[in-house]
Chains A and B, each alone.
Chain A
Amino acid sequence: DAKTTQPPSMDCAEGRAANLPCNHSTISGNEYVYWYRQIHSQGPQYIIHGLKNNETNEMASLIITEDRKSSTLILPHATLRDTAVYYCIVRLTGYQKVTFGTGTKLQVIP
């Protein structure tokens, strides 16, 4: 798996968009970008994933740069319940194993 780099922590005001960056400069063409989050005391929760196109679902949007070396997870209107550790992971197509790094601790502030 390619390695990812994320800032250790970020703050975001409640109601504002939270933009969480991830660097994956060694990603290969058949590796997807996945995002999970872990709210305190719970198991990690899948958010979104993509290969090269931008993706959006009910939880978030994923913007992947054209060269695929970085991506941004966007929570359009952050709430206090979005306070969590967010993990960016790259995963090889057809390969089940993934490695969780240290993630970004997002604190949503009232």
Chain B
Amino acid sequence: DAGVIQSPRHEVTEMGQEVTLRCKLISGHNSLFWYRQTMMRGLELLIYFNNNVPIDDSGMPEDRFSAKMPNASFSTLKIQPSEPRDSAVYFCASSSTDRPQHFGDGTRLSIL
């Protein structure tokens, strides 16, 4: 079975540009999590969805960040406008209710 699929794997863009990160959930999973990882702050939960509904977005840094689930198997995380401090590795994870989370390989984002 395919795992969680994230794209792109690497993104380098200039400050002020819009960035869109994509995530495909494992088939049958109903929960979706977006994390950000930096050396300074470690692995932080940004937002999670259950059955396509955002449940907790308290980790979203500011209004420049937005996440959506247009359908049960796909999610996007957008940053607009991007800033150098947004540079990090962004992970997506999915799970079924009360089951372990399965992570993708991440998107390495660099904002110049």
Contacts and interface: CB of A to CB of B under 8 A. Distances in A.
Interface of A: 34, 38, 42-46, 49, 87, 93-94, 96-102
A44 B103 contact: yes
B56 A43 contact: no
Interface stretch (B11-19, B64-72, B79-87, B93-101): B93-101
20 contacts: A42-B105, A43-B91, A43-B103, A43-B104, A44-B43, A44-B93, A44-B101, A45-B103, A49-B100, A93-B98, A94-B97, A96-B31, A96-B55, A96-B95, A97-B45, A97-B56, A100-B35, A100-B42, A101-B42, A102-B42
Contacts of B98: 93-94
B48 A97 contact: yes
Interface of B: 4, 31, 33, 35, 42-43, 45, 48, 50, 55-56, 91, 93, 95, 97-98, 100-106
Contacts of A97: 45, 48, 55-56
A98 B42 contact: no
Of the candidates A34, A42, A45, A97, the one having the most CB atoms from chain B within 10 angstroms of its own CB is A97
A83 B104 CA distance: 19
Nearest to A96: B31
Contacts of B31: 96
A45 B101 CA distance: 8
Contacts of B45: 97-99
A87 B45 CA distance: 15
B91 A96 contact: no
A43 B93 contact: yes
A46 B91 contact: no
B92 to A, nearest CB: 8
Contacts of B102: 46
B100 to A, nearest CB: 4
B50 A100 contact: no
CB-CB nearest 6 A-B residue pairs = A43-B103, A46-B100, A100-B43, A44-B103, A43-B91, A96-B31
